[in-house]
């Protein structure tokens, strides 16, 4: 909801929202008209005031019954206790028993081509000296 669409403080929709909150958060449209001393007709009140509050999501309308929403209470500055998600408690930790590492499974013997280990017979040069393969 954009801020410029909300009713101004002291305007008729704001005063009706305040009256609805003071009546316990729910009332009929006729009751709101009587509380606010509305001199006009019911369709005009419904179109100008009630529908404006419904568009702003400050009240919910079912038939001729108005109920203030949490957004409406928050707009009036009333602290609203929001119920968050209540998750499932964590299960107990399960520790697997220790098993020795199976090297044959993790490092299977690889096929070697013929002559792949011939480099071992040639000595390397380190620091000017020939060193045999270790």
Q: Catalogue all structural domains in the chain, each as residue range(s) with its CATH number.
A: 3-76 (1.10.10.10)
pLDDT by residue (tens digit) across 39-58? 889 889 998 899 999 999 99
CB 15 within 8 Å of CB 23: no
Question: Cα torsion for 5, 54, 58, 82, to the nearest 10°?
Answer: -120
pLDDT surpasses 80 at 108:
no
> pLDDT-derived band of residue 115, with 50, 70 and 90 as boundaries?
confident
pLDDT surpasses 80 at 109:
no
What's residue 29's pLDDT? Answer: 92
- The per-residue pLDDT of the chain, averaged, comes to 86
Query: What percent of the chain is modeled with pLDDT above 70?
Result: 97
pLDDT surpasses 80 at 11:
yes
d(CA 129, CA 7): 92
What's residue 3's pLDDT? Answer: 64
């Amino acid at each position: 909801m954009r801020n410029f669409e909300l009713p101004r403080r002291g305007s008729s929709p704001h005063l009706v929202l305040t009256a609805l909150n003071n009546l316990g958060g729910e009332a009929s449209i006729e009751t709101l008209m009587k509380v606010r001393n509305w001199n006009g007709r019911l369709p005009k009140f419904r179109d100008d005031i009630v529908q404006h509050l419904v568009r702003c999501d400050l009240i919910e309308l079912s038939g001729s019954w108005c109920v203030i929403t949490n957004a409406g209470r928050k707009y009036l500055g009333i602290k609203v206790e929001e119920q968050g998600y209540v998750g499932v408690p964590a299960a107990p930790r399960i520790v697997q028993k220790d098993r020795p590492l199976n090297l044959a499974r993790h490092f299977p013997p690889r096929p070697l081509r013929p002559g792949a280990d011939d480099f071992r017979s040639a000595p390397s040069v380190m620091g000017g000296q020939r060193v045999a393969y270790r």
